[in-house]
Amino acid sequence: MKKLKKTLLVLALIFISVSVIADPTMPGSIKVSGVTHNSVKIEWRESISMSGEGKIIYEVKMRIRHGDKPSEWGFHGGCCLANKSNVVISGLLPETKYEIRVVAYDSSGENSKARIKENAFTTLEKPTTYQVIKSFPVGFSMVSIPFKFVDNTVKYIFGDEALFNAHLTIYKYSQQTGFVINSYDADFGWDDESMVLEAGEALWILNDSPTGDTRHRAFRGNVSDRWRELGE
């Protein structure tokens, strides 16, 4: 009888061990990046399926923390089940502190322990879109790029409008190379349409219009995050 009990105990221990080993490993440490007022990129180290049951799926849930009182775990921004170890979540609330929980599942339904990152990140203030009208009289004008745009290339900021850009030349100073000159041609566009003009960066613009016309451009964009940091 004692031998039977001992055998059953050993079998039970083996069963428990196998069950534990069969669970996917816990997802690795969580890293956040690219935080905006309504989105974030989340990455973690991959889990391993110990049972060998197919591909790992990750359940990513978040909760809001107000002081010492976190909300319930839930899906935010319509997210998320992920089949890889990173995801971008949007639709978040501005100026809000979030926490993250990631659980791995294999195709048999076995799940890992939850990897949790408390006080993971706080979304930024919702940006306000502003408009500034700049004038470019004939000759040289020093201009500061007023905003952070969706795309801060010269093509995006000034566009492809030949009527406006014709006879405009940009002189951008670099400590390494001196002045970099970028001119607009009505037939071929900008010499370098990918030139980046950062928010707050000063540059010279030459308007050599033969008719003496002053050019006016309305700039619309958001205040640079770097400016916000300087003001805090």
Same domain, 84 and 53: yes
Mean predicted lDDT score pLDDT of the chain:
82
Q: Note the pLDDT of residue 28.
A: 94
Q: What is the structure's pLDDT at 2?
A: 53
Domain span at residue 50 reads 29-122
pLDDT tens-digit profile of 101-150? 999 999 888 999 999 999 999 998 887 777 888 888 999 999 888 887 77
Q: Whose structure tokens read 């599942």?
A: 105
Q: Indicate whether 57 belongs to any domain.
A: yes
pLDDT in tens, 180-210: 999 988 888 899 999 999 888 889 999 988 8
Cα distance between residue 82 and residue 136, in whole Å: 50
The residue among 84, 103, 122 that closes a domain is: 122
Does 168 reside within a domain? yes
231, exposed or middle or buried, with CB in 10 Å at 0-12, 13-18, 19+?
exposed
Burial class of residue 47, CB neighbours in 10 A (0-12, 13-18, 19+): buried
CB 121 within 8 A of CB 32: yes
pTM: 0.54
Domain C-terminal end among 122, 157, 172: 122
